[in-house]
């Protein structure tokens, strides 16, 4: 391999086989990925060979500390590599999906990544009800951080320092607005809610990494309406529910699906008000989706 192939840098942006890489000296390279096997994600550290001053070829990727991605029976979609935390961004308006929040929390937990919940738009009167609804996540051990990307991003900013974070959430929650507040410029386009909802389109169309300082970076991602967990086994998912994880394996039947089986430890926990029916329903739903996936689609 030539000496030039020793160059390595962080992936700021990637679309199919085209990526933008930033070297540690600040130089930017537009790169194509070599071969069809390699899947590159924002946050990856790529080894590149140089074609000229600003173009290169991605030859390989450094080992990842973490990989956050979604998958259904047919395909997987990488979201971010090497993140230390996932920040689920929700807002009172437009209304957020509680099920999606649960999917992200489970995905983060099963991927070994810390998750936090950012409640944006606390300047709106509707925020109080949203804060009440989110209190249950605090009881489960997740930090819920109320903030306003428009008027006061400080509570969130504080949580992003010295971390590698991916902002994740539905369209219109204010991820890009937060990103812009953090970097102090209109780096990412944002759109008024009414127009965003009317058009049914997402404002941010691809994932992008932004550095806050030497130790901190944040990835802004497009709004997501679906988030499959097909890459996890039943056990991975069961263990990703903190209130149920220690009970797994203690049901009367070893292969208990926690539906109608007698002496189910999870249902007993719900009956004893140590866990909620909603969370048990999510656990059942996420597990059954995984089991519907043909075996060959799994790794
Ligand atoms: N009132 C209020 N509005 C906000 C706040 N933060 C963001 N918004 C508005 O919410 C709308 C959506 O913001 P975006 O940042 O584009 O949302 P997004 O999550 O990036 O959406 P996608 O890119 O489609 O995923 C815009 O109209 C913002 O002005 C806030 O703190 N308060
Ligand atoms: Mg956006
Ligand atoms: Zn059970």
Mean pLDDT split into 10-residue runs, the chain, 299 residues:
71 95 96 92 97 96 98 94 98 96 98 98 97 97 98 98 98 96 88 56 86 97 95 97 98 96 98 98 94 55
**CA distances (Å), origin 12, targets 139, 220, 240, 245, 248:** 35, 10, 29, 36, 40
Cα(135) to ligand 2 centroid in Å equals 26
CB atoms inside a 10 Å sphere around CB 294: 9
The predicted structure's pLDDT at residue 299 = 44
pLDDT of amino acid 40: 97
Q: Ligand 1 pocket check: which of 177, 178, 179 to mutate, most ligand atoms within 8 Å of Cβ?
A: 177
Q: What is the pLDDT of residue 174?
A: 96
Whole-number Å distance between alpha carbons of 168 and 25: 29
Contact 280, 273 (CB under 8 A): no
State the pLDDT at residue 173.
97
Q: What is the pLDDT of residue 294?
A: 56
CA of 208 to the centre of ligand 3 (A): 41
Assess whether the C-beta atom of 202 lies below 6 angstroms from ligand 1: yes
Residue 61 CA to ligand 1 centre (angstroms): 34
Q: How many angstroms does the Cα of residue 87 sit away from the middle of ligand 2?
A: 14
Cα torsion 88, 89, 94, 98 to 10°: value is: 20
Asked if residue 278 has its Cβ within 6 Å of ligand 1, the reply is no
The domains found in the chain, sorted by start residue, are: 3-61 (2.40.50.140), 67-220 (3.40.50), 234-297 (1.10.40.50)
């Amino acid at each position: 391999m030539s000496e030039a192939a020793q160059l390595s840098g962080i992936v700021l942006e990637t679309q199919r086989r085209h990526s933008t890489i930033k070297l540690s000296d600040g130089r930017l390279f537009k790169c194509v990925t070599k071969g069809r096997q390699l899947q590159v994600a924002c946050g990856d550290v790529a080894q590149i060979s140089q074609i000229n001053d600003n173009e290169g070829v991605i030859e390989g990727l450094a080992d990842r500390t973490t990989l956050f991605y979604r998958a259904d029976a047919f395909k997987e979609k990488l979201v971010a590599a090497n993140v230390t935390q996932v920040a689920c961004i929700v807002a009172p308006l437009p209304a957020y999906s509680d099920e999606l929040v649960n999917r992200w929390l489970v995905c983060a937990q099963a991927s070994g990544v810390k998750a936090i919940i950012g409640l944006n738009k606390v300047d709106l009167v509707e925020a109080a009800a949203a804060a009440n609804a989110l209190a249950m996540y605090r009881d489960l051990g997740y930090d819920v951080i109320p903030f306003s990307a428009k008027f006061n991003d400080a509570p969130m900013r504080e949580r992003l320092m010295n971390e590698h974070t991916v902002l994740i959430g539905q369209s219109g929650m204010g991820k890009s607005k937060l990103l812009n507040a953090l970097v102090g410029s209109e780096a990412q386009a944002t759109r008024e809610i009414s127009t965003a909802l009317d058009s049914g389109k997402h404002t941010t169309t691809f994932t992008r990494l932004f550095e806050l300082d030497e130790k901190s970076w944040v990835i802004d991602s497009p709004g997501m309406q679906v988030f499959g967990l097909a890459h996890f086994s039943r056990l991975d998912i069961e263990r990703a529910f903190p209130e149920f994880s220690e009970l797994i394996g203690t049901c009367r039947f070893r292969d208990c699906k926690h539906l109608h089986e007698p002496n189910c430890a999870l249902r007993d926990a719900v009956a004893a008000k140590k866990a909620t029916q909603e969370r048990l329903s999510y656990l059942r739903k996420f597990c059954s989706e995984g089991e519907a996936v043909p075996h060959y689609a799994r790794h």
